[in-house]
């Protein structure tokens, strides 16, 4: 057993073109595309145990310490390992394996390798934690096995390349796994050779020496005839961005028996699979895309950006919304090419807004039809001068004339023309270089290509919610609001604390308000400042429910004041709550402007205010609420304390205009999840005939039959 020192050196996995070049990226050569295709077609078309694997497993069993429970895997190989030009022939690669929380680290023997290293070596850990040894709780065990890839010059320097983290109970379900290697920030670790294929680790497990209560690994055996069609959805973002795709996937599976693969960030694996565990027809699978949005938005520069109210900063963020995720492009293409060589190839790829460029490249390279699912309609450009990419928001006046000055800047910086210019800067030569690496035309007009080729774009919003731009092509279809729900009976119920709070407030004759920002990183001191003002200064007796994550500590004085309000039954703070039943009890809503939360609130026919960090489509939904006359214009959380008391005073006044308007509007039936109309919209497009994206003359798509 070899123990590894703490030196980690530099980290690979930064995906920008400039960084790749700095690390010694290898330029494309005439044979690069053919070579990359050959590499993709070398993937085994089934997961059945080969004679080679049988021989290895017999060797493992013969060498295993008898009579002792252990965890043992065969580390086969690591491919597409990044390197530097200074790496010479004596550079060695090795893999370490450990169980999270344990100091016991085992390692393969270092082997010579450049971009690929074959190990074919058994790694065994004999001391297993209690949750893996407990038959009653093994199915709920969370112990992870961590594989780390290292590069050593054999003398002075050892560099960390990347890692794989997976729960032991998940790893052992299959006899063989090909695992995506990621950086500590969650990004895919990529090769330096175009088209920058993702680094992957292949490991085998057969259960030799494992505790008897561990299930035996079973090879996956999916067959297209069992599912009819296979749809691949590709999305990245916050949990709110992922939920509609899960709902749509469930709909395809339950209604038509399709197989659906959702490729998104590893952080959401459990969330995706847990929400689909009650699917009775079809199949919903998960694949990692690389990346970790929540880690990224908690970085100082991201926090700074989200605190800014400027339309120009918002335009920059929208322009960079795809560029930030280009690092997942080769990971998605790699996954789809592998799937196309399986017994259950993909029939349709469905990207989200942040993965549109990736979806287009994947569709064209793999010759698979594409239809987009876009939750952010304001991202779709139009020549209509009233159609804004970024919705301007009101601000608290600072000096006389400030409003007029701000309005002048808002008109210029919130337009699609501005976002288009910034998008050109943000993507620069990176996107063309990515496209050219796959043999595609480098410079294209993305939205013009989609509209010109009638690539379907489905927006899960009811027609009439906003004024549809007249120049949108017929391939842009508005369907219905979509929600992620569960079939489990009693899945949502108040806990004792919340139930007591609501009952006590009603008994005391107080109105109920809810404030929620979902997973958005709203500063807690800003939220509490507004909460304290609302419950202490409004002319109506009110109790406030706050639902959200605590991101920042606050001062002792503010904490003390909040505790006093909690003791009086005026305020309660929860990390999560069942909105479907909580919202029915509320008299007024203060929300962050996400699609699902906003429509849920509007269906209650009560006044709604939209505040928070107000990123992109959250401003859009704030404008919808204001345009429909159910609440004030959207206002940033920094300025919300200046209007929050007035909002409650007006919203809780009997017979107020916001209440009357809210009661008169229809947003679909309460409890309707909108899944059916969205599924049928895609089915309608599929019935007309869908085609792969085509932007490159004489381009020959990847040949899956090789």
pLDDT in tens, 158-178: 889 999 999 999 999 999 999
Structure tokens at 662: 């809210």
Of 142-151, 217-226, 464-473, 547-556, give the lowest mean pLDDT range.
547-556
pLDDT in tens, 606-629: 999 999 988 888 999 999 999 999
- Spacing of C-alpha 573 from chain mean position: 26
| 578 Cβ contact list (under 8 Å, min separation 6) | 491, 492, 493, 494
Same topology for domains 224-308+320-381+429-484 and 496-664, yes or no?
Answer: yes
Residues of the chain with pLDDT > 70, as a percent, come to 84
pLDDT at 315: 83
Section 75-93 average pLDDT: 80
Give 2 or 487, the one with higher predicted confidence.
487
pLDDT in tens, 283-307: 999 999 999 988 887 788 877 877 7
The most confident of the ranges 45-49, 88-92, 549-553, 604-608 is 604-608
Task: Name the superfamily (CATH) of residues 17-204.
Answer: C2 domain (2.60.40.150)
pLDDT in tens, 633-673: 999 999 999 999 999 999 999 999 999 999 999 998 877 89
pLDDT at 339: 95
pTM, entire model:
0.84
pLDDT at 32: 35
Section 214-229 average pLDDT: 92
Structure tokens at 281: 């027809």
Provide the 3-class DSSP secondary structure of residue 554. Answer: coil
Give 2 or 448, the one with higher predicted confidence.
448
Q: For the chain, give the mean pLDDT.
A: 84
Q: What is the residue extent of each domain of the chain?
A: 17-204, 224-308+320-381+429-484, 496-664
Q: Assess if CATH 3.40.1110.10 describes domain 224-308+320-381+429-484.
A: no
We find that the CATH architecture of domain 496-664 is 3-Layer(aba) Sandwich (3.40)
- Spacing of C-alpha 28 from chain mean position: 31
pLDDT in tens, 115-158: 899 999 999 999 899 999 999 999 999 999 999 999 887 667 78
Dihedral angle over CA of 373, 379, 384, 385, nearest 10: 160
pLDDT at 29: 35
Give 62 or 587, the one with higher predicted confidence.
587
Structure tokens at 366: 């793999």
Section 474-486 average pLDDT: 91
**Is the pLDDT assigned to residue 7 strictly greater than 50?**
no
pLDDT band per the 50, 70, 90 thresholds, residue 195: very high
pLDDT at 269: 96
Is the CA virtual torsion 502, 507, 508, 512 positive or negative?
positive
pLDDT at 294: 86
Give 308 or 459, the one with higher predicted confidence.
459
């Amino acid at each position: 057993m070899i123990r590894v020192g703490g030196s980690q050196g530099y980290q690979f996995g930064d995906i920008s073109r400039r960084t790749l070049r700095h690390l010694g990226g290898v330029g494309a050569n005439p044979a690069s595309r053919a070579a990359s295709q050959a590499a993709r077609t070398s993937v085994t078309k089934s997961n059945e145990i080969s004679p080679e694997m049988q021989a290895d497993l017999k060797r493992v069993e013969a060498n295993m310490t008898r009579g002792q429970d252990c965890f043992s895997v065969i580390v086969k190989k690591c491919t597409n390992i990044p390197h530097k030009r200074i790496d010479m022939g004596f550079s060695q690669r090795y893999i370490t394996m450990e169980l999270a929380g344990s100091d016991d680290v085992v390692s393969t023997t270092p082997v010579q390798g450049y971009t690929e290293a074959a190990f074919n070596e058994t790694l065994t850990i004999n001391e297993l934690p209690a949750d893996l040894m407990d038959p009653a709780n093994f199915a709920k065990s969370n112990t992870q096995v961590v594989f780390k890839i290292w590069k050593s010059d054999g003398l002075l320097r050892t560099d960390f390349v990347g890692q794989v983290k997976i729960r032991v109970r998940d790893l052992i379900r299959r006899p063989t796994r090909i695992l995506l290697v990621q950086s500590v920030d969650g990004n895919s670790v990529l090769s330096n050779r175009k088209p920058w294929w993702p680094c992957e680790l292949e490991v085998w497990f057969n259960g030799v020496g494992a505790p008897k209560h561990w299930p035996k690994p079973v090879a996956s055996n999916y067959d297209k005839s069992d599912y009819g069609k296979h749809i691949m959805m590709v999305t990245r973002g916050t949990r709110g961005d992922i939920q509609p795709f899960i709902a749509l996937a469930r709909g395809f599976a339950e209604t038509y028996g399709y197989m659906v693969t959702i490729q998104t960030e590893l952080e959401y694996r459990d969330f995706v699979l847990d929400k689909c565990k009650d699917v009775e027809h079809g199949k919903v699978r998960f694949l990692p895309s690389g990346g970790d949005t929540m880690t990224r938005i908690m970085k100082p520069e991201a926090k700074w950006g989200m605190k800014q109210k400027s339309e120009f900063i918002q335009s920059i963020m929208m322009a960079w919304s795809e560029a930030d995720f280009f690092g997942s492009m080769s990971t998605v293409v790699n996954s789809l090419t592998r799937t196309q060589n399986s017994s259950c190839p993909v029939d349709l790829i469905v990207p989200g807004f942040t993965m549109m460029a990736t979806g287009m490249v994947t569709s064209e390279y793999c010759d698979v039809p594409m239809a987009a699912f876009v939750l952010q309609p304001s991202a779709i450009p139009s020549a209509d001068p009233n159609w804004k990419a970024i919705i301007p928001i009101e601000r608290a006046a600072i000096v006389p004339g400030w409003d007029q000055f701000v309005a002048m800047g808002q008109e210029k910086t919130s337009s699609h023309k501005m976002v288009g210019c910034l998008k050109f800067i943000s993507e620069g030569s990176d996107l063309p270089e990515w496209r050219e690496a796959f043999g595609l035309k480098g410079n294209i007009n993305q939205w013009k290509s989609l509209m010109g080729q009638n690539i379907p774009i489905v927006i899960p919003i009811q027609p009439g919610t906003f004024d549809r731009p007249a120049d949108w092509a017929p391939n842009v279809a508005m369907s219905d609001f979509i929600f992620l729900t569960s079939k489990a009976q009693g899945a949502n119920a108040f806990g004792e604390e919340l139930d007591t709070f609501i009952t006590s407030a009603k008994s005391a004759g107080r109105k109920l308000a809810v404030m929620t920002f979902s997973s958005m990183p709203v500063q807690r001191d800003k939220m509490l400042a507004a909460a304290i003002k609302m419950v202490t200064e409004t002319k109506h007796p009110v109790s406030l429910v706050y639902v959200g994550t605590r991101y920042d500590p606050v001062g002792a004085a503010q904490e003390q004041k909040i505790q006093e309000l909690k003791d009086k039954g005026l305020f309660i703070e929860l990390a999560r709550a069942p909105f479907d039943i909580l919202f029915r009890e509320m008299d007024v809503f203060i929300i962050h402007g996400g699609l699902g939360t906003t429509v849920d609130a509007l269906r209650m026919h009560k006044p709604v205010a939209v505040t928070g960090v107000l990123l992109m489509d959250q401003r859009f939904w704030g404008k919808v609420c204001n345009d429909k006359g159910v609440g004030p214009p959207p206002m940033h959380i920094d300025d919300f304390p200046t209007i929050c008391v007035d909002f409650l005073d007006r919203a809780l006044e009997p017979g107020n205009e916001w209440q009357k308007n809210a009661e008169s509007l229809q947003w679909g039936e309460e409890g309707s999840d909108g899944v059916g109309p969205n599924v049928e919209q895609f089915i309608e497009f599929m019935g007309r005939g869908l085609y792969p994206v085509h932007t490159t003359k004489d381009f020959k798509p990847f040949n899956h039959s090789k």
